[in-house]
Structure 1
């Protein structure tokens, strides 16, 4: 059993073959909260794996039959409480998320909503095989076209304040029952200290690490502003966007950065948008490069780092003309077992990772 991979798997029902594969190749997993049998099997097969269940902080879904829900409060429970926990527009109408039918925005500024969310999730997790919760939609901008102002919230800053209170309350409560909270902390780089604050209860999830999409990677300054996330606190789960093909160069690009700046801490994934029904994998995801042999070395947004069992390099530059030749330490090999070259020319927004050969 090996690997630094994160299995982001809250899509279609999980197959037995996927469970077996995951136990061999992933360090962490995020599953739907009703996948308790899969969670229990993963913990039996891989006791050191961190297995989290999905819960949404900001919405409820009207199509889920229950009795377990992907939100902290079900649509039916919110209705039974009189409907005041739903966010509403200025005309009083409820707000369905654009692009996600059946997802309804909740009023995260309502203390009663936050209290019930925390009560429900803490009670559900107390005797669960899950190690904790990945709390989705710790949002920053208006991703779902709420079109503020809405009732009780003039701006996204108001909603972020409500989410801040909810994250701290949920994290404190879950920690008290021996579970962790790992929020999906959107755009934390834009507010100093936000990542550390929201990750303080077990870790943080960055769903758009190094870019928004496979062809929309961040400029070097923005990319480097995210690098501190690999240092924790807790478990950092970092996802880089691809087009869904595991041979996409972004997979290795992000993995190289993960090793250079995190030295193997946390866990890593590369997927297409909302592509959370498969077992994404490349051989390098299973590697352990060992202990760092120094700090990251870099110049002009090109970085490398040597480890006791390997080496990685990355070029964060966005301009295609900024190719950079980097010297490769001796005695390394690629995933096919071929000897690594003595130097490699890294194009913009590309990374490379080599491990030490068997006879070295």
Structure 2
């Protein structure tokens, strides 16, 4: 049976060429730690880690390679950021379109006395900028939000929000899980103070590695979530006060970093072409599914094509979405994700709660032929009922 992988919103597949080989090389030929060994192999590994920081900082226009913190992924980065920054009595702004990687840490922090204020979004998932400005003018310890929805693919006006945050002196924290690698992100131009990202989605790297890039000013305000060995200032029982050591306790995921380095090197060569293709194929899928939209079936998210990622979620209004997703895979080999996508308030916002949606999410290796095949499969499911 034909296989069409359309769950890139969860993790990219296939990975960039060379990722597996780079990870295998570390495990079989390198194998050491960094910052803990005074020998050449350890020095060489440390140089590759530094080069990976530099690649990420260049790609995302960050404040410097030392400000790139490696974590287990975007969720770990957001927890480190939110729990290290916010204190009882603080007021934090977020939106109704967030993933649980933001919502669950904030819910935990609410129990400690942090006030969480939700900024409204429309039925297309787009943020209400006027309301955002009104809330920012009242002051906040931070505003945290996603660059794009993992549910419906709507891209938020991050640049405009960043400008407002800068105007009112509010730190701007961005969840880049759905955009980094495939949608341009410029931390300096967008006035982003902290950017959390995974390595395994748009960056085409392995699972288990991701990062956080943040300004030095914000880093000075963060209490480390983890404490432990860093290979530096070992005589002190306190965590170092400089980056990246302050926020990188313990052993780094070096196989993951080697894999991410290979993915970033591939993106340096092919990224522009891949991004153009990923955008075109995502919009092609959106257009094909919109052709089927009628009573009983709808495509969610914005119709403004300049503000869409390759995530296209649909609601089978006259059928069970779980059954439709199951049949797409069993009968047509099309892999999707069905349900609430770890974002219940987003589904409430766009009117798909509690049933959720069937999410198709394209990637840079998805083909136009696959999208036409998907349209035909969906049409068959719709017309036989």
TM-score with structure 2 length normalisation? 0.30
More relative contact order, 1 or 2 (CA 8 Å, 6+ apart) = 2
Query: Structure 1 or 2: larger strand share?
Result: 1
How high is the TM-score relative to the length of structure 1? 0.31
